[in-house]
Structure 1
Amino acid sequence: MLDKKFIYLFYCLLSFFKTTIHYIHTVYYVQTYISIYKINPYSFWIAECLFLIWNSLNDPLFAWLSDRYTSSIDNRLNNLTLCGPLLCLSSLLFWYPLVGINSSLLSLQLLLSLCLYDTFLTMIDLNYNSLLIDISLYKREILSSASVIGSALGSLTLFSSYLVWDSSNLRLFRIFVTILTILIMYGFLIVTQSMKQILYCDHAKSNQENISKGHIPTLWQFIWGISRHRNYLVFSLVNLIQVFHCHFNSNSIPLILNIFIPSSSSSLLSSILLGISFLLPHLSNIYFVYLCKSQSTYYVILGLFYVKLFFTLYLFIQGNNYTWLICLFLVSNRIFTEGICKLFDLIITDLIDEDQFMHQRISPLPALVFGTMTFLSKPGQTLAPIISSHLFYSIDKAQKGLFNKIVMIPIVCSLCQIILWNKFTLRGYRLTSIRSMLKHSNEQINI
């Protein structure tokens, strides 16, 4: 039997595997289809809009099935064992066109690739995030920190991926991605099986017995319940804006680097900036998670909203005359947006507690809450590549016009989020009281 302390390492590694695959997908697939495969812009937008339908529906559906039929820790790890390698295989479809370049069928391949990829990613996200709640032996903050460290390590692959990236010849990039994908496939299998050995114990079994006694609502009953959950609705709007901003940053970074640092001699600088912009948010998040313990997650997120707003306003006033300032903007904007996204997982765990308290559930429904939250944020994920692709097609326009568009997005997002976030009341005394009552209730159930 492995030492239980290894659970933090394995949770970190799962985050590393998922982040590595997803960051490469997010950063390069839009540019690949638009500037290399030369897909028609209208075909691209139609494929993204059709994908939005499946992308939105699968989250609450899979979440309900997960909590209703596979809510045990053992089953969640089985899902990760299956879906991890399938996610890796589906990601390769983006880099190997099955039809000729400029073919009208490219949009069908894009649609198929997106749907397959998102199906497995959704299953991984739901089961991975639910483990944060299900593994009651371990503290959420420590597991969250382990997840952040894994994401930081996963972002390091972007350094090397950008060095082998060549829009005129994808051969080296495809070799790099294929080898990396095979290694991660085996990693998923080894880590999930090791976690099963650790978590298959009397404590886990007793927890599952308690869960099985709880009433699992139908999907429509749950949706009706959260429609009256005020904090849930406020947070879902804030999260929608944040998901859009995070994905817009990821999709548009190669574009911004190509426009404002266009010379071939700057490829190393662009590689470093790309890697740092994905690495630093996770390193800074280790501090943000620590800060949340003393200052509360709510106020840390509110502070990040204000910092993001004021720094972007400063950049807007300075204009696009300073390359170093644009580079600093790229890195800092990623720190603020990704930092907030990672902290949102802690807010969702609080919403899960509030949902359990409001509806007097014997056990929480983590997958359903995560799934419906993702469902409500998916339009932002789809709008991001559409808008960033519009910037690609506007590449012949003046730098100043593109600069203004890029800068205005974080300004508008920050203003909307600050207004909404002040209406979120799950903080302070209310949050402390809910946690205390749930803890007392769980102690009575265990007795």
Structure 2
Amino acid sequence: MGLLALALGGFGIGLTEFVIAGLLPQVSDDLNVSTAAAGWLISGYALTVAVGAMAVTATTAVLPQKPVLVALLALFVAGNLLSALAPTYGVMLLGRVVAALCHGSFFGIGSLVARRLVPPERASRAVATMFAGLTVANVLGVPFGALVGERWGWRATFWSITAIGVVALVAVAGLVPGWAGVRGRGGETGVRGGGAGSRDSGAGSRGGRTDLRTQARAFRSTQVWLTLTATALGYGGMFGAFSYLAYTFTRVAGFSSTDVAWLLVVYGSGLVVGNIAGGRGADHNRDATLLVSLAGLATTLAVFGVLAGSRPASVVLVFLLGVFGFATVPGMITRVTDAAGGTPLAASANVSASNVGNAAGAWAGGAVISAGFGYAAPLFVGAGIVAVGLGVMGVAARGAVGARGEGRRGPGGEEVQERRGTGGEEVQGRRNETAVKPTETRRA
């Protein structure tokens, strides 16, 4: 039930992110602003997520994680309430920024808490369950917003999301066990939760609190930076193409503008399938799943570029774009948090990296269109970006394999001895200086 509560929070946050796309004409007319200005309600949200994820997580690093999640959902409710009541464009933009502040930190910290609710071998599936809320929001967000907005006005949409946020806040407060967000002495979580995340080896952790200096040390790890880079490139390639799919569908494949909505539902359905498959695959062999997913994504984008003029091919390929694009999410998050010793800042950094990739990819796709290469060009650019990400992931996987069985230092600088699973993930970490007896495992 704790995982479902986290998924509900993810669903509400996902709705806030995606729903505005179907409401921009109404919002711009009602608030008397240009379409370009209204577009900042999307761009401003994304930029705030990219910057705010790490900033908020760093600020709350010394606090227990469950109360932080509840506070983040309260911030989410406040932001959407501001949007629903906004008398001016400035207040509306402020509401979007406030709501965005909780986005990256909720998914970053929530993914760590989710891992502690399940046995180690199901860590990636737990993360996938939490992110299922986001993928469902991707499928339903724009149609939901358009339907409610058309019937009762755009403000009603934000009132609905505010209500969902209140329910999610109560659910997380009541259903997520307090121990899931608390680490034991010496950095142990004292609960189930996925390999290195199960005994977070960061020194300076006590009672769910990890000091900022300890979390920052995790970024000395080459594996952390390689994984973040692969995340940014994977997302950059996918969203560089996705941002202009409406133009590809209507001006290359010949679909009508009314077809775009159901085509995006097909894409969103692929996200759901990819999220589930990626979580299961990552629990079996994480690095292999990530490599196959990135290779599949690059291939799909390249083939899509070639066959963009075919309607049947476009339907199949946009589904595969969703499948391979989101199959990387559970594995990337568990990989970066394991490499960083389970620190919340690293998990939030992964969300920031994905949003940086989104922004850069969208810019690259727009640049090739502006240069006159046509509306299928972003697909080829996306394929190239993802191919680079695949190369980075290959280097990371090779480094993880080479490090099996070797002694390393944890994010707090202590010596740890690692034993890795089939995907290169850490499944046990012990301090060389002091043997720490595992605490009792508890169930959600």
TM-score band w.r.t. shorter chain: 0.7 to 0.9
- Give 5+ residue unaligned stretches, structure 2: 189-201, 406-417, 421-425
Which of 5, 12, 26 is matched with 1:17 structurally?
Answer: 12
Q: SS at the partner of 1:67?
A: coil
Q: Deviations over 1:32-87 (max 9, x none)?
A: 889998747699789959984x555433332222222x1x2442343244133134
Following TM superposition, by how much is the alpha carbon of 1:145 offset from its aligned partner in structure 2, in angstroms? 3.9
Q: 1:177 aligned to 2:157?
A: yes
Query: What residue identity is the alignment partner of 2:269?
Result: L
Deviates more, 1:410-419 or 1:54-63: 54-63
Q: 1:116 aligned to 2:98?
A: yes
Following TM superposition, by how much is the alpha carbon of 1:387 offset from its aligned partner in structure 2, in angstroms? 5.1
Query: What residue identity is the alignment partner of 1:371?
Result: S
Q: 1:307 aligned to 2:296?
A: yes
Q: Which residue of 1 aligns with 2:193?
A: none
Q: Which residue of 2 aligns with 1:381?
A: 358
Q: Which residue of 1 aligns with 2:109?
A: 127
CA distance in 2, matches of 1:181, 1:132: 23
Q: 1:187 to 1:247 in 2, by over 3 A?
A: farther
Q: 1:125 to 1:65 in 2, by over 3 A?
A: same
CA distance in 2, matches of 1:442, 1:278: 47
Q: 1:414 to 1:391 in 2, by over 3 A?
A: closer
Q: Which residue of 1 aligns with 2:387?
A: 415
Q: SS at the partner of 1:444?
A: coil
CA distance in 2, matches of 1:261, 1:208: 57
Following TM superposition, by how much is the alpha carbon of 1:311 offset from its aligned partner in structure 2, in angstroms? 3.1
Following TM superposition, by how much is the alpha carbon of 1:192 offset from its aligned partner in structure 2, in angstroms? 1.7
CA distance in 1, matches of 2:45, 2:183: 40
Deviates more, 1:214-223 or 1:43-52: 43-52
- Give 5+ residue unaligned stretches, structure 1: 1-5, 100-107, 354-363
Q: 1:406 aligned to 2:378?
A: yes
CA distance in 1, matches of 2:377, 2:144: 27
TM-score by length of 1: 0.72
Following TM superposition, by how much is the alpha carbon of 1:445 offset from its aligned partner in structure 2, in angstroms? 5.2
Following TM superposition, by how much is the alpha carbon of 1:190 offset from its aligned partner in structure 2, in angstroms? 2.6
Q: 1:32 to 1:278 in 2, by over 3 A?
A: farther
Deviates more, 1:43-52 or 1:13-22: 43-52
Are the aligned partners of 1:149 and 1:282 in contact in 2 as well (CA < 8 Å)? Answer: yes
Q: 1:11 to 1:443 in 2, by over 3 A?
A: farther
Following TM superposition, by how much is the alpha carbon of 1:276 offset from its aligned partner in structure 2, in angstroms? 2.0
Q: 1:228 aligned to 2:220?
A: yes
TM-score by length of 2: 0.73
Which of 241, 247, 251 is matched with 1:259 structurally?
Answer: 251
Following TM superposition, by how much is the alpha carbon of 1:204 offset from its aligned partner in structure 2, in angstroms? 5.6
Following TM superposition, by how much is the alpha carbon of 1:191 offset from its aligned partner in structure 2, in angstroms? 0.9
Q: Which residue of 1 aligns with 2:277?
A: 287
Q: Which residue of 1 aligns with 2:76?
A: 84
Are the aligned partners of 2:186 and 2:436 in contact in 1 as well (CA < 8 Å)? Answer: no
Q: 1:179 to 1:222 in 2, by over 3 A?
A: closer
Q: SS at the partner of 2:220?
A: coil
Following TM superposition, by how much is the alpha carbon of 1:278 offset from its aligned partner in structure 2, in angstroms? 1.0
Question: How many residues matched?
Answer: 400
Q: SS at the partner of 2:204?
A: coil
Following TM superposition, by how much is the alpha carbon of 1:412 offset from its aligned partner in structure 2, in angstroms? 1.0
RMSD (Å), alpha carbons: 4.3
Q: 1:330 to 1:292 in 2, by over 3 A?
A: same
Following TM superposition, by how much is the alpha carbon of 1:21 offset from its aligned partner in structure 2, in angstroms? 2.7
Following TM superposition, by how much is the alpha carbon of 1:155 offset from its aligned partner in structure 2, in angstroms? 3.5
Taking the TM superposition and a 5 Å limit, the aligned residue runs for 1:210-359 are 214-215=203-204, 219=212, 222-223=215-216, 225-260=217-252, 267=258, 269-294=259-284, 296-318=285-307, 320-353=308-341
Higher relative contact order (CA 8 A, sep 6+): 1
Following TM superposition, by how much is the alpha carbon of 1:152 offset from its aligned partner in structure 2, in angstroms? 4.2
Are the aligned partners of 1:51 and 1:114 in contact in 2 as well (CA < 8 Å)? Answer: no
Q: 1:77 to 1:195 in 2, by over 3 A?
A: farther
Which of 48, 56, 60 is matched with 1:62 structurally?
Answer: 56
Larger relative strand fraction: 2
Q: 1:149 to 1:373 in 2, by over 3 A?
A: closer
Query: What residue identity is the alignment partner of 1:229?
Result: S
Are the aligned partners of 2:66 and 2:181 in contact in 1 as well (CA < 8 Å)? Answer: no
